[in-house]
């Protein structure tokens, strides 16, 4: 086990940061307590640095480990900035007026600790090499979020949302844990490499197949995919906007990393589905196909009907999970394939793009507030509050507009290139019908994303009191950083494209093209000499790279 410690340095850094935050958050000094967010961000930056420069994993997707950890940590920095002021606002004001500090009445230490614990769990999902590890990592990701939702506001709505989230989360965990048990019963091992070898040698027996089906359905809760999506709108609306942004990225990323690992155990064929068949058992492919089609369709159709921006973004989050499932069905393509033919690389790239776009959109909502009936500040939760936002609060307004249009997939923004890779990988895998469903749903999504952008950019502010800026500059800074990255990566995203492509190499599952030597753990795919590799020229533009 000691040989795994270098691989776990990023998680250890985040855990040590969590311990520091637990203590600092209980300090009677307000300035010290407020440093929890900064300390959390610094710890996550160091974790990302060690992830990038650390060793690759030792599982089926060794190169995915550093990529995923760095992605989670860096987006986690933006999320930590975004949650500033979510808890202890009234308690800090009371102490500032001369009240006596009471550590039992403060929540800042627990709040930031739960955020870091959840991020640690997501990072551990990328390191998982057996079913037990994966189960514990998924639960470490999820359990803190139940508390985060409940404590994010003072109202009963967040408490109701937390209860719903907890019970449905327990159901999802029970389903995929039972699936893991069946996989163990069908193969005699919990280790991914041994399970993969058993399936390769003896085929998929009924017990293992049933376990895979249940595991996929259970993990679907984490990514808010049909039929495990019912909690999403109520929980997203009930939680504070910064926590909603956290829910939309961290559990979803952990879920997709888990699904990639589970499917890598079985492996993919890289010919056309029509001409050469598909390596995934037909039952698994059919399950994923139906879930993908239903998820993107249900998410987009229900998003059309919403009058709350948070509920609309909740249903759009469901739709984005459906989009990414197309990449999982397509698989990693032939060894050394460009990202346009690599569905796993497309999913990893899409997760990075979605994380940034999601933070930007929710930062615009979290950066505004108005006074409630009792005089307390409350979040905005109406399209009317966003009217004329580009004129009244330009930075937040244009952050919302650009990130909404990027979520739509409007060229030349980052969302267009990330969605394009899903289209091309689906076509390369022969999933033409599913790609058509993806295209139709993308067109449907244009209605509500253009509505969100148009309200802020084209309409005039309504009469009466206008929402003001939340007194937490870190929220606007988080949105601004996301905006800059969404725009800049649209033109200078070659490094991210290459990283996602290198991270998607599956070891030991028959993905290598003839003539290629096996890749060693930690060795990047582009270290192999392949004259036909279309992604070697680092000076190629993003558009050319995606279409290679």
Backbone dihedral angles phi then psi of residue 153, each to the nearest 5 degrees: -135, 165
Q: Report the pLDDT value the prediction gives residue 110, as an integer from 0 to 100.
A: 94
Burial class (CB in 10 A: 0-12, 13-18, 19+), 15: middle
Indicate the average pLDDT of the chain.
87
The whole-model pTM stands at 0.90
Predicted confidence (pLDDT) per residue in 144-163, tens digit: 999 999 998 887 888 999 99
Query: If you average pLDDT over residues 367-374, what whole number do you get?
Result: 83
Q: Which of 100-114, 176-190, 276-290, 435-449 shows the lowest mean pLDDT across its residues? A: 276-290
Distance spanning both ends of the chain, measured CA to CA = 41
Cα–Cα dist 369/379, whole Å:
5
Cα–Cα dist 176/182, whole Å:
10
Q: In what order do the strands lie in the sheet with 368-371?
A: 377-379, 368-371, 468-469
**Cα 211 versus chain centre, distance:** 25
Task: Give the number of C-alpha atoms closer than 13 A to the C-alpha of residue 218, restricted to the C-beta side.
Answer: 25
Tokens coding 269? 């064929």
Q: Report the pLDDT value the prediction gives residue 520, as an integer from 0 to 100.
A: 38
Angle at 299 between CA 297 and CA 300, to 5 degrees: 70
Q: Report the pLDDT value the prediction gives residue 356, as an integer from 0 to 100.
A: 96
- DSSP secondary structure letters along 338-365: -GGG-HHHHHHHHHHHHHHHHHHHHHHH
Strands 468-469 and 377-379 turn out to be unpaired
Q: Report the pLDDT value the prediction gives residue 355, as an integer from 0 to 100.
A: 96
Predicted confidence (pLDDT) per residue in 509-533, tens digit: 443 333 333 333 334 334 433 333 3
Q: Which of 29-33, 114-118, 525-529 shows the lowest mean pLDDT across its residues? A: 525-529
Residue 445, C-beta contacts closer than 8 angstroms, at least 6 positions apart? 300, 303, 316, 319, 407, 408, 409
- DSSP structure class, residue 519: P
User: What is the domain partition of the chain in residue ranges?
Assistant: 272-548
Tokens coding 126? 């990328």
Predicted confidence (pLDDT) per residue in 241-294, tens digit: 999 999 999 999 999 999 999 999 988 864 444 434 446 788 999 999 999 999
Per-residue pLDDT band for 368 (boundaries 50, 70, 90) equals very high
Query: If you average pLDDT over residues 422-431, what whole number do you get?
Result: 91
- Residue 535 confidence (pLDDT) above 60: no
Per-residue pLDDT band for 371 (boundaries 50, 70, 90) equals confident
Q: Which of 182-191, 249-258, 273-282, 435-444 shows the lowest mean pLDDT across its residues? A: 273-282
Cα–Cα dist 433/421, whole Å:
16
- Averaging pLDDT over each range in 85-99, 212-226, 495-509, which range is the top one? 212-226
Predicted confidence (pLDDT) per residue in 44-60, tens digit: 999 999 999 888 877 78
Query: If you average pLDDT over residues 416-421, what whole number do you get?
Result: 94
Q: Report the pLDDT value the prediction gives residue 153, as an integer from 0 to 100.
A: 87
Q: Report the pLDDT value the prediction gives residue 19, as an integer from 0 to 100.
A: 96
Query: If you average pLDDT over residues 109-131, what whole number do you get?
Result: 95
Query: If you average pLDDT over residues 10-38, what whole number do you get?
Result: 94
- Residue 420 confidence (pLDDT) above 80: yes
Residue 158, C-beta contacts closer than 8 angstroms, at least 6 positions apart? 149, 150, 151, 152, 238, 239, 240
Task: Tell me if 343 sits within 8 A of 333, measured CB to CB.
Answer: yes
Task: Please choose, from the candidates 233, 273, 243, 221, the residue with its C-alpha nearest in 3D space to the C-alpha of residue 430.
Answer: 273
């Amino acid at each position: 086990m000691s040989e795994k410690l270098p691989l776990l340095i990023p998680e250890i850094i985040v855990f040590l940061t969590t311990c520091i935050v637990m203590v600092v958050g209980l300090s009677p000094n307000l300035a010290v307590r407020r440093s929890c967010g900064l300390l959390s961000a610094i710890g996550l930056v160091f974790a990302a640095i060690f992830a990038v420069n650390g060793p690759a994993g030792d599982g089926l997707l060794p190169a995915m480990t550093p990529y995923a950890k760095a992605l989670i940590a860096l987006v986690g920095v933006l999320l930590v900035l975004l949650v500033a002021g979510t808890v202890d606002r009234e308690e800090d004001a009371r102490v500032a007026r001369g009240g006596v500090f009471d550590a039992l009445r403060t929540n800042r230490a627990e709040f930031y600790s739960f955020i870091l614990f959840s991020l640690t769990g997501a990072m551990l999902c990328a390191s998982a090499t057996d079913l037990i590890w994966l189960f514990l990592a998924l639960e470490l990701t999820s359990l803190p979020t139940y508390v985060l939702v409940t404590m994010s506001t003072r109202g009963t709505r967040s408490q109701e949302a937390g209860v719903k989230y907890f019970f449905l989360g327990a159901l999802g965990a029970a389903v995929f844990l039972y699936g893991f048990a069946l996989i163990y019963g069908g193969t005699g091992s919990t280790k991914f490499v041994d399970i993969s070898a058993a399936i390769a040698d003896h085929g998929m027996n009924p017990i293992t197949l049933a376990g895979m089906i249940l595991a996929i359905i259970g993990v679907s809760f984490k990514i808010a995919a049909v039929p495990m999506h019912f909690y999403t709108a109520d929980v997203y609306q009930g939680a504070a906007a910064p926590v909603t942004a956290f829910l939309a990225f961290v559990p979803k990323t952990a879920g997709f990393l888990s699904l990639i690992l589970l499917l890598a155990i079985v492996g993919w064929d890289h010919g056309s589905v029509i001409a050469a068949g598909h390596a995934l058992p037909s039952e698994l492919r059919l399950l994923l196909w139906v879930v993908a089609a239903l998820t993107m369709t249900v998410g987009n159709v229900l998003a059309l009907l919403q009058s709350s921006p948070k509920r609309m973004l909740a249903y759009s989050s469901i739709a984005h999970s459906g989009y990414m499932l197309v990449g999982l069905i397509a698989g990693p393509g032939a060894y050394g394939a460009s990202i346009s033919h690599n569905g796993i690389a497309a999913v990893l790239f899409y997760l990075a793009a979605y994380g940034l776009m999601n933070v930007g959109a929710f930062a615009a909502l979290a950066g505004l507030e108005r006074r409630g009936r009792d005089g307390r500040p409350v979040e905005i939760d109406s399209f009317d509050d966003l009217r004329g936002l580009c004129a009244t609060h330009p930075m937040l307004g244009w952050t919302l507009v650009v990130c909404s249009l990027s979520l739509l997939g409007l060229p030349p923004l980052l969302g267009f290139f990330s969605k394009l890779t899903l289209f091309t990988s689906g076509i390369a895998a022969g999933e033409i019908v599913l790609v058509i469903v993806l295209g139709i749903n993308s067109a449907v999504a244009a209605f509500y994303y253009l509505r969100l952008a148009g309200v802020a950019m084209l309409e005039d502010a309504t009469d009466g009191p206008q929402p003001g800026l939340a007194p937490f500059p870190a929220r606007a800074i988080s949105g601004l950083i996301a905006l800059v990255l969404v725009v800049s990566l649209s033109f200078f995203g070659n490094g991210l494209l290459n990283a996602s492509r290198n991270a998607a190499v599956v070891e030991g599952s028959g993905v290598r093209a003839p003539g290629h030597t096996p890749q060693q753990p930690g060795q990047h795919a582009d270290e192999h000499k392949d004259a036909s590799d279309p992604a070697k020229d680092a000076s190629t533009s993003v558009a050319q790279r995606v279409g290679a």
